[in-house]
A and B are shown apart, each in its own frame.
Chain A
Amino acid sequence: MTALTKRTHWIVRITHWVTVIALPLMIASGLRIFNAYPAFARKGETFCCYPFANKSIPAALTFGGWLAGARHWHFAVMWILVVNAIVYLGFLYLHGEWRELAPRRGDAHRAWEMIEFYLFARQEHPRQGKHNALQKVAYFAMPIVAAVIVVSGVAIWKPVQLRWLTMLFGGFVWARYVHFMAMIVLVLLVLVHVFMVFAVDPYALRSMITGWYDADQSPEARNARPFYHLLPRRTAHDVTAPNEVEG
């Protein structure tokens, strides 16, 4: 018997999978635009903080074919992502689910406990709610990083008309750098997220598709680290009380 609960609201599921499709398009088309000038320095000057200047991004990671084609995609897909984000964040706010992501007192301590657990410095999986403390950090950071990407993107879109905004980032060169580096941060968060889904909690895939989650197979219940205790746990009431379902 399993402890199936409805865990992921359909709005979260839809906005999640829209992001899965749209975000790679946005990043790949952005990288194709970047390849038109794969550096940050103002012409005739140098830039402190990008060691790969004038090295193109491999074509396989880009999308759009050429500068104008990539811009077409970038400026079309951005609307999908912005509307998607408004729907997602609006839902979190109206439905109260932001409480599961907002930082709370003790989260830093709990995040440290998670790190200790993953590093085998601790035997038992820390107690957690819907997400563990590291997940909370990641899911809370993602919309913030995304907002930085949107605002810096607006700043490099109209550096003359929105000069004040561009100046807020330290000028066009820095706004472009922030736009790029925030994308890198978002990509790293996404890569860790996807890795952890498959290495720790593949059962979460089900809840992101159907909404249903088997609490008996949660990482906490399985005491799961990456690639440890991946398989379904035989629970006590599998053996003794097959009809007992916890609420």
Chain B
Amino acid sequence: MADSSIGKPALIDRRRFLAIAGTGAAAALVGCDSFGSRRLEPALSLAQRGNERVERLLFRHRSEDRIPGRARLTGDAFPQYFVSDSVPMWDEATRGPWRLEVSGAVKRPLALSLEDLQKLPRVAQSVDHYCVEGWTARAQWIGVRVSELARAAGITNDAQYVDFQSFDDDYHESWDIDSAMQHQKLVAYSMDDR
């Protein structure tokens, strides 16, 4: 299929070009556009803050996603996402070699090349992926723990959220720090041995 030949390199590229910023995500989260009356937004964000508190109270973030050893991986049916209209590619000629930037609420901001990343302790795991959209899929991932990157960058105590930024049309996604530091959270550079 024509799709897979375009999709495969692009998938790896998108995952490569992640940047982590420790702060600023809180504002972005609260600023999330909600539908309905503007006057109701304070109520919605109140509920959201309340829900975050409930989650922190209920869960210790030690839970692990375990799947049976014989479980079949999803393979090519694993959804691939692009925000831009065309497949995003990193143009080294104009933007220089790609690096993963880790900045924000850290003592030592990092700029890691793919080789630097691969030198860090590598973790391989097959996990269920539960997407916020409602689908699930399984894949084997190899990469570096987000907590490892945070340790390397010297995360400060006031860090509350992690914002993952893609070069793909400014796509970004953020997470609370407890979820991001859970040991199964990877910045992956390989999927299903590709």
Contacts and interface: CB of A to CB of B under 8 A. Distances in A.
B150 to A, nearest CB: 20
B104 to A, nearest CB: 22
B59 A69 contact: no
B131 interface: yes
Contacts of A72: 32, 34, 44, 47-48
B32 A68 contact: yes
Given A42-B74, A44-B78, A37 B135 contact: yes
A103 interface: no
State the main secondary structure of chain B at its contact with A. Answer: loop
A71 B131 CA distance: 13
Interface in A14-37: 33-34, 36-37
B47 A79 contact: yes
Contacts of A161: 58-59, 63
A75 B47 CA distance: 7
B35 A66 contact: yes
Contact of B133 (A37, A73, A75): A37
B51 A75 contact: yes
A26 B162 CA distance: 29
Contacts of A196: none
B151 to A, nearest CB: 23
Interface string B170-181: 000000000000
A95 interface: no
Instruction: Report the contact-size class of chain A (Cβ under 8 Å from the partner).
Output: 20 to 34
Interface in A198-213: none
Contacts of A225: none
A63 B36 CA distance: 8
Given A69-B33, A160-B65, A76 B134 contact: no
Given A64-B35, A161-B59, A163-B63, A42 B135 contact: yes
B87 interface: no
Contacts of B35: 63-66, 69-70, 73
A73 B79 contact: no
Nearest to A40: B134
A92 interface: no
A159 interface: yes
B149 to A, nearest CB: 21
A44 B75 CA distance: 8
B43 interface: yes
Contacts of B36: 63-65, 69, 73
Contacts of A43: 74, 77-79, 135-137
Given A42-B74, A172-B130, 9 more contacts: A43-B74, A44-B74, A44-B78, A66-B35, A68-B34, A75-B48, A75-B51, A76-B48, A159-B128
6 contacts: A37-B131, A64-B34, A65-B33, A65-B35, A70-B35, A160-B130
Interface of B: 32-36, 43-44, 47-48, 50-51, 58-59, 63-66, 74-79, 128, 130-138
Interface of A: 33-34, 36-37, 39, 42-44, 63-73, 75-76, 79, 156, 158-161, 163, 172-173, 176
What are the 9 closest A-B residue pairs judged by CB atoms, nearest first? A44-B77, A65-B35, A76-B47, A36-B133, A43-B137, A37-B134, A69-B35, A161-B63, A44-B74
